[in-house]
Amino acid sequence: MAAFDFAPLIVLLPFAGFLVAVGAALTRPGVLPKGGALPGIAATVGSLLLSAWVALQVLAGDRAAETVYVWSAAPAAGVPELVFSLLLDPLAALMLLVVSLVALLVHVFSLGYMNDEGETGLPRYYAGLGLFTASMLGFVVAGNLLMAFVFFELVGLCSYLLIGFWFREPGPPSAAKKAFLVTRFGDYFFLVGLVGVFATFGTAAFAGPESFPVLAEAVLAGEASARTFGFEARTWFSVLGLLILGGVLGKSAQFPLHTWLPDAMEGPTPVSALIHAATMVAAGVYLVARVYGFYALLPTVLAVIALVGGFTALFAATMCVVKREIKQVLAYSTISQYGYMMLGLGAGGYVAATFHLLTHAMFKALLFLGAGSVIIAMHHDEDMWNMGGLREKMPVTYYTFLAGSLALAGIVPFSGFWSKDEVLYEALIHGLAGSPAVLVAYAMGLLAVLFTGFYTFRMVLLTFHGDPRTETARDPHGVGWSVKAPLVVLGVLATTAGALNAVPVHEVLGFPPEYLHDWLAHDGGQSAFAALTSEHYGELLKTQAGYASAEVSSVAAGLVSLALALVGAGAAVVLYRGPDPDPHTEKLGAARTVLYNNYYQDEYQAWLAESFVRPLARVLDGVDQGVVDGGVNAVSSVSLFSGRRLRYVQTGVVSNYAALLTLGLTALVVAAALVGGWFT
């Protein structure tokens, strides 16, 4: 179990990097070379190596769920114990690899994006990155819901710090606040759900026979009991599941809590890459996958997840179509892609969704870093209509960006095709077999493929093809190795990661093996972890959620989505090719205004806040000021008054003290005697 002994270090190393950067910033700014990037890089390299070691150990069949720190021991039987514990299983090991890899590449890229651009406040930046990485890694290895919540909140805090990095400009602080508040709104439900889980099951552990998903399963089978507060067990569990889902919707930017994410583009681009690919936004989806054993028991909640996911995928994809700024396109595409993952989870495709989480991490990190490279070249102009023709000037960026785009659009054989296709395939077969909600979600997801192909290629064409449309684009700023190296690494991975789980190929040729399915399916011979395998989830979906599978060829389904993606991409090529493409958005008429304004999501949420929340807050404030504070103030004015009286008693004359002391003692004796009846 050697590797597992070092597992806490995976989290602690980036945290140490954070401490070093903060310490340097506080004591002697400038003492660290590269503004603190090097400790961060060293720490993430360490985390990556340790993660790989852990993954090898998991591959060898080991699993672990161990308590690291008892936060609050159970004071009595029946009272939950609060602990920090590690859960190391295939899902966590996979995610550890992804997070530490992306974090490392983002650190390296930042050398080019932040250091070389002469930004100030770099120790603060690298401290933020370090804490962000540590928080996400801590979230990934969390062995119970409470610890997950703690790190979930830390992730939110770090995103606030980093999005608002350029706090002297007007935009970033406001975007940071928005990201924090909107995700906090979701987290509030998560917190209530967390308390609910403790109250219901007396534990929030993820793994083992005493974990809450296993207990929930036993309760539904009538083999155990839990406190359900008068509800029928499944109803109550669904309420809990939906509450936890609140946090997921906020963090993973799902409708209607997605509005923070596009604004978060105000942060430095490497941070966007980290947020979108591996940390903050991934946290929500990962949480659902982590407690999938619980969600698989609840068909209603699954349907909600699938519908929200499918709708978000389509809804966000349509908004991408009219965006002018390259990072805005990527932002909405992130929302859309996480919609696919939710769709996959809701449709019973646990492996498919995990697969898409993995490939998306690769290609979205790639696209953001590529966009960052373009933004460096364009002297921080992000408007695609000011670009054009960058292909010749920056070939490395172009080819890697193209690989990422092909993956995003879902073109065979790039990684995104295989994972998105599998998500849609799972939705289709379960939808056809009697789950109309899933089928509707599938239809929305499928339609979104068309839009995805379109906006992706519109972005590529406007940025890299045609003639340069501005002076800056004619003479772009060069980028260094620290920018190119991460792009190449991610470019290779975005191209090839699909081979991990090429289901349609496997169906036809019986080769290659479905590595990811095998990775997630088995418990490594340790029955304590049997409840965390995709085999077990499949069983639950069948028996508890009533999901059946229709017989559909995965090849046929894949061909349909590929065709749609090609149509979308083709349309973009037709419209935007040539040296000097026209903006065709006017042709959309009224729809264009709606899309430009993002369906007025921000407006209605601001309206809700102003017309309902603010008056309510005002009333509560009145209660607080008048009743609560009034009470406290009354107590303190009484106390001040009587306190002044007391000063007269403390006369300073010692004989008075002796007298008062004796009187006090006498009063005590008399009282005790009367009560005790000593003289009767």
Partner 1 sequence: MLDTPVQVVAGVADGLLPPVVLGVTALTLLVIDTVRPDETSLALLGGVGAAGSLVAFGVAAALLAGGVDPTTVYGGAVMLDGTSLYFTLVFASVTALVSVASYDYLRGQDYAGEFYALVLFSATGMSLMAAANSLATAFVALELTSLPSYALVAFLKQNEGSSEAGLKYFLVGAVSSAVLVFGISLVYAATGALTFGAVAEGLTTADDLVGIVGLGVVMIAGGMAFKTAAVPFHFWAPEAYEGAPAPVSAFLSSASKAAGFALAFRVFVGAFPLDVLVPMGVDWVLIFQVLAVVTMTLGNFAAATQENVKRMLAYSSIGHAGYALIGLAALSADGPNGAVLGASMAHLFVYGFMNTGAFLFVAMVEHWGVGRTFEDYNGLATRAPMASVAMTVFMFSLAGLPPFGGFFSKYALFYAAVDSGFWWLAAVGAVNSALSLFYYSRVVRALWIEEPAVDLSLGRRPVGLYVAVVGAALATLLLLPAFGPVVETAQTVAATLF
Collapsing DSSP states into helix, strand and coil, what is residue 510? Answer: coil
201 backbone dihedrals φ, ψ, rounded to 5° = -105, -15
Nearest CA among 368, 374, 328, 370 for reference residue 470: 374
Helix (H) / strand (E) containing 294: helix 292-295
Shortest distance in whole angstroms from residue 633 CB to partner 1:
10
Q: Tell me how far apart the alpha carbons of residues 103 and 134 are, in angstroms, rounded to a whole number.
A: 10
Q: Write the single-letter amino acid at 62.
A: D
Q: Which is nearer to partner 1, 78 or 118 (CB)?
A: 78
Shortest distance in whole angstroms from residue 642 CB to partner 1:
5
Q: Which is nearer to partner 1, 616 or 672 (CB)?
A: 672
Q: Which is nearer to partner 1, 608 or 671 (CB)?
A: 671
Enumerate residues 6+ apart whose C-beta is below 8 A from 342.
Answer: 248, 252, 254, 285, 288, 305, 306, 308, 309, 312, 353
Shortest distance in whole angstroms from residue 637 CB to partner 1:
10
Q: Tell me how far apart the alpha carbons of residues 501 and 274 are, in angstroms, rounded to a whole number.
A: 24
Q: Which is nearer to partner 1, 511 or 678 (CB)?
A: 678
Q: Which is nearer to partner 1, 618 or 647 (CB)?
A: 647
Burial track 218-257 (b if 16+ CB lie within 10 A, e otherwise): ebbeeeeebebeeeebbebbbbbbbbbbbbbbbbbbbbeb
Q: Give residue 105's Cα distance to chain centre.
A: 18
Whether a cis peptide bond, with omega within 30° of 0, leads into 476 is no
Answer whether 263's CB lies under 8 Å from 175's CB: yes
Shortest distance in whole angstroms from residue 28 CB to partner 1:
17
Collapsing DSSP states into helix, strand and coil, what is residue 511? Answer: coil
Enumerate residues 6+ apart whose C-beta is below 8 A from 164.
Answer: 172, 173, 175, 176, 177, 266, 267
Shortest distance in whole angstroms from residue 672 CB to partner 1:
5
Sign of the alpha-carbon dihedral angle for 519, 525, 530, 532: negative
Shortest distance in whole angstroms from residue 70 CB to partner 1:
8
Shortest distance in whole angstroms from residue 72 CB to partner 1:
8
Nearest CA among 7, 85, 115 for reference residue 52: 7
Q: Which is nearer to partner 1, 625 or 639 (CB)?
A: 639
Q: Which is nearer to partner 1, 73 or 590 (CB)?
A: 73
Q: Which is nearer to partner 1, 118 or 676 (CB)?
A: 676
Shortest distance in whole angstroms from residue 645 CB to partner 1:
9
142 backbone dihedrals φ, ψ, rounded to 5° = -55, 135
Q: Tell me how far apart the alpha carbons of residues 531 and 554 are, in angstroms, rounded to a whole number.
A: 27
Q: Which is nearer to partner 1, 31 or 635 (CB)?
A: 635
Q: Which is nearer to partner 1, 615 or 643 (CB)?
A: 643
Q: Tell me how far apart the alpha carbons of residues 207 and 461 are, in angstroms, rounded to a whole number.
A: 48
Instruction: Measure Cα distances from 499 to 401, 418, 506, 573 in Å.
Output: 20, 8, 10, 28
Q: Where are the alpha helices (DSSP H) in 321-414?
A: 326-346, 350-377, 390-393, 395-409
Nearest CA among 151, 155, 418, 142 for reference residue 289: 142
- Interacting residue ranges for partner 1, rule: CB under 8 A: 70, 72-73, 632, 635-636, 639-640, 642-644, 646-647, 650, 652, 654, 657-658, 660-665, 667-669, 671-673, 675-679
Shortest distance in whole angstroms from residue 632 CB to partner 1:
7
Q: Tell me how far apart the alpha carbons of residues 367 and 371 are, in angstroms, rounded to a whole number.
A: 6
Helix (H) / strand (E) containing 67: strand 64-72
Q: Tell me how far apart the alpha carbons of residues 426 and 348 are, in angstroms, rounded to a whole number.
A: 7
Q: Which is nearer to partner 1, 590 or 675 (CB)?
A: 675
Q: Tell me how far apart the alpha carbons of residues 37 and 45 are, in angstroms, rounded to a whole number.
A: 12
Q: Tell me how far apart the alpha carbons of residues 596 and 8 are, in angstroms, rounded to a whole number.
A: 46
366 backbone dihedrals φ, ψ, rounded to 5° = -60, -50
Shortest distance in whole angstroms from residue 195 CB to partner 1:
18
Q: Tell me how far apart the alpha carbons of residues 349 and 336 are, in angstroms, rounded to a whole number.
A: 17
Shortest distance in whole angstroms from residue 649 CB to partner 1:
8
Shortest distance in whole angstroms from residue 176 CB to partner 1:
25
Enumerate residues 6+ apart whose C-beta is below 8 A from 252.
Answer: 281, 282, 283, 284, 285, 338, 341, 342
Shortest distance in whole angstroms from residue 128 CB to partner 1:
23
Shortest distance in whole angstroms from residue 628 CB to partner 1:
11
Q: Tell me how far apart the alpha carbons of residues 257 and 592 are, in angstroms, rounded to a whole number.
A: 22
Shortest distance in whole angstroms from residue 199 CB to partner 1:
19
Answer whether 505's CB lies under 8 Å from 512's CB: yes
Q: Where are the alpha helices (DSSP H) in 111-144?
A: 122-141
Q: Which is nearer to partner 1, 509 or 649 (CB)?
A: 649
Shortest distance in whole angstroms from residue 15 CB to partner 1:
16
Shortest distance in whole angstroms from residue 82 CB to partner 1:
11
Q: Which is nearer to partner 1, 591 or 673 (CB)?
A: 673
